[in-house]
Amino acid sequence: SAVISQKPSRDICQRGTSLTIQCQVDSQVTMMFWYRQQPGQSLTLIATANQGSEATYESGFVIDKFPISRPNLTFSTLTVSNMSPEDSSIYLCSVVSGRTGYEQYFGPGTRLTVT
């Protein structure tokens, strides 16, 4: 399975500021995903980030609020812009298994609290 790391692991931010979350994978992967897990909730896909193309956002998520970069096949960033307390969530990146092409593997998550 792929080894995925995220930075920061957690942060407390003030309303109106922005935070950039980094996701690093130990192998080259084509497809990366960013999910949000609000407190006590399930996972919701924010966007799909493929290298060399613009990210594809799901309904309810927009690029101005959640800009994503994918500069190469092992790295991606998600920025949470102009934060409000409603953005307090765990943000997780994931990749599709390169070996089987089926299961997704997830990073440890970034726990964001907005005050």
Partner 1 sequence: AQSVAQPEDQVNVAEGNPLTVKCTYSVSGNPYLFWYVQYPNRGLQFLLKYITGDNLVKGSYGFEAEFNKSQTSFHLKKPSALVSDSALYFCAVRGARDSSYKLIFGSGTRLLVRP
Instruction: Give the CA distances from residue 96 to residues 10, 30, 48, in Å, rounded to whole numbers and listed in that order.
Output: 24, 8, 11
Q: Which is nearer to partner 1, 74 or 94 (CB)?
A: 94
Give phi and psi for 86, each to the nearest 5: -65, -15
Strand bridging mode 10-13 / 110-114: parallel
Hey, what are 74's tokens? 């092992």
The contact mask relative to partner 1 for 46-75 (x = CB under 8 A, - = no) is --x-------x-------------------
Select from 13-21, 65-73, 77-85, 98-106 the region that touches partner 1 (CB under 8 A): 98-106
Residues that bind partner 1 (CB under 8 A): 1, 4, 31, 33, 41-45, 48, 56, 92, 94, 96, 102-109, 111
